[in-house]
Structure 1
Amino acid sequence: MIALEKSHKIAKHFINTVGHTPLVELGNIFNKPGVKVFGKLELANPSGSVKDRTAMNILREAIATGEIQPGDTIIESSSGNMALGLAQACLYYKLQLVVVVDPHINQHTEKLLRTYGAKIVQVKSPNENGGYLGARLKKVQQLLLDIPNSYWSNQYGNPNNPLAHHDTMTEIMEALNYKVDYLFIAVSTCGTIMGCADYIEKNNINTRIIAVDAIGSVLFGGSPGERIIPGHGASVPSQFLDSSKLWDHVEVSDLDCVLGCWSLLKKEGILCGGSTGGVVSAIQKYEYHLPDNSNCVLLLCDRGDRYLDTIYNREWLLKKIAGVKNHLNPIGGW
Structure 2
Amino acid sequence: MIHSHIADALKVPALVRLSDGVVLVRFESMKIYSALSAVRHLLERGTIRPGQTLVDSSSGIYAYALALACHRYGMRCHIVASTTVDTTTRAQLEILGAVVEQVRPSKSLKLDQELRVRRVKEILADHPDWHWMRQYHDDVHYLGYHEVADLIASTFPATALTLVGGVGSGASTGGIVERLRAADPSVRLVGVQPFGSVTFGSQDHHDPEAIIAGIGSSIVFDNVRHHLYDGLHWLDFTHAMSGTVALLRDHAVFAGLSTGAGYLAATYEARRHPDRLHLVIGADTGHRYVDRVFARHTEALDPAALKPVEVSAPEEMSMPWSTMAWRRAPRPANGKERVA
Q: Secondary structure at the match of 1:296?
A: strand
| Residue of structure 1 equivalent to 2:13 | 21
Q: Which structure 2 residue ranges, 5 or more long, are not aligned?
A: 303-340
| Residue of structure 1 equivalent to 2:227 | 244
Q: Rate the CA distance shift 1:182–1:326 in 2: closer, same or farther, 3 A.
A: closer
Indicate which of 291, 307, 310 corresponds to 2:289. Answer: 307
Indicate whether 1:36 and 2:4 are aligned. no
Letter matched to residue 296 of structure 1: H
Could you tell me the TM-score, scaled by structure 1's length?
Answer: 0.82
1:149-194 CA-to-partner distances (Å, cap 9, x unmatched) read 3111111111111122111111111101141421101111111121
| Residue of structure 1 equivalent to 2:214 | 231
Letter matched to residue 200 of structure 2: F
1:1-30 CA-to-partner distances (Å, cap 9, x unmatched) read xxxxxxxx2223334435442312113xxx
Count matched residues.
298
Q: Secondary structure at the match of 1:39?
A: strand
Letter matched to residue 21 of structure 2: K
| Residue of structure 2 equivalent to 1:287 | 270
How many angstroms apart in 2 are the aligned matches of 1:119 and 1:236? 25
Q: Secondary structure at the match of 2:169?
A: coil
| Residue of structure 2 equivalent to 1:221 | 201
Q: Among all aligned residue pairs of Structure 1 and Structure 2, give the percentage whose two residues are the same amino acid.
A: 24
| Residue of structure 2 equivalent to 1:175 | 155
Shift of 1:94: 1.8
Letter matched to residue 25 of structure 2: K
Indicate which of 57, 60, 70 corresponds to 2:50. Answer: 70
Residue pair 1:39, 1:299 contacting (<8 A) in 2 also: yes
Q: Rate the CA distance shift 1:129–1:234 in 2: closer, same or farther, 3 A.
A: closer
| Residue of structure 2 equivalent to 1:255 | 238
Q: Secondary structure at the match of 1:327?
A: coil
1:223-257 CA-to-partner distances (Å, cap 9, x unmatched) read 25354231211111221223222111111111111
Residue pair 2:22, 2:267 contacting (<8 A) in 1 also: no
Residue pair 2:78, 2:98 contacting (<8 A) in 1 also: yes
Q: Which stretch shows the higher mean deviation, 54-63 or 193-202?
A: 193-202
Could you tell me the TM-score, scaled by structure 2's length?
Answer: 0.81
| 1:1-334 pair list within 5 angstroms | 9-17=1-9, 19-27=11-19, 35-43=20-28, 49-124=29-104, 130-147=110-127, 149-224=129-204, 225-226=206-207, 227-290=210-273, 292-314=274-296, 325=299, 327=301
Q: Which structure 1 residue ranges, 5 or more long, are not aligned?
A: 1-8, 28-34, 44-48, 318-323, 329-334
